[in-house]
Amino acid sequence: MKLLQYFFGIVIAQLALFSLVLLNAGTLTTESLLRIGVPALFIALVIAFWFNSIAKHHSKDVVSAVKEEFASEREKIKINAERAKMRVHKEAEKKIIKETSRAHAKANFKVGASFAGLIGVGALFVMAQMVTAGLLVISASAGAMGGYYLRSKRDRYRELPAIEVKAIENKPKKLEKKDA
């Protein structure tokens, strides 16, 4: 399309120059060259402005198309970054919860084994005719186990919702406009 606009401008300039030469076809003197040159110069200036106008409009169209494409690509990048941030956040939460529950399970097993050992020692005392000491060890270990169980439940319900994972924040930079 742009090629036709330039082509018609060049054809018009050649036709105008050809008609001026035909009008002064007799002899080419300085006066006739001046009659041909001044209008030809004027026609060339008009066509140069015309071509400049076409080029400016074409460059503005291209720049606006590139700006729109850049804006849509930037929006896609922002959306993908937000999705990736949320995915990393969820994965980190899952990992923290998994590791916390694993640590609690290990601790609960160790504590349970130690309490079972204490109850066994208390039962041994009872069998060995040391009933008072045996009952004291059994009741103390049962009370400690109950307290540990209640504290672990309370801590688990308090700590897990309070876990906060910080991901990389995307802060857009402010672009400065330069006057050209």
Q: In this predicted model, what pLDDT tens digit does every residue of 5-24 receive, in sequence order?
A: 677 778 888 888 888 777 77
Residue keyed to tokens 């850049």: 70
Tokens of 83: 């999705």
pTM: 0.44
Whole-angstrom distance, CA of residue 87 vs CA of residue 165: 12
Average pLDDT (148-156) is: 76
For the chain, helix (H) and strand (E) counts, in that order, are: 3, 0
Predicted confidence (pLDDT) at residue 65 exceeds the cutoff of 90: yes
Buried b vs exposed e over 98-109: b needs ≥16 C-beta within 10 Å? eeeeeeeeeeee
The fraction of the chain above a pLDDT of 90, given in percent, is 15
pLDDT of residue 100: 81
Q: Say which residues have a Cβ less than 8 Å from residue 110's Cβ, sequence separation at least 6.
A: none
Q: Say which residues have a Cβ less than 8 Å from residue 168's Cβ, sequence separation at least 6.
A: 85
- Dihedral of alpha carbons 123, 124, 128, 130, sign: negative
Question: 113 or 65: which carries more pLDDT confidence?
Answer: 65
pLDDT of residue 176: 61
Q: Say which residues have a Cβ less than 8 Å from residue 165's Cβ, sequence separation at least 6.
A: 89, 92, 93, 96
Whole-angstrom distance, CA of residue 19 vs CA of residue 36: 9
pLDDT of residue 47: 82
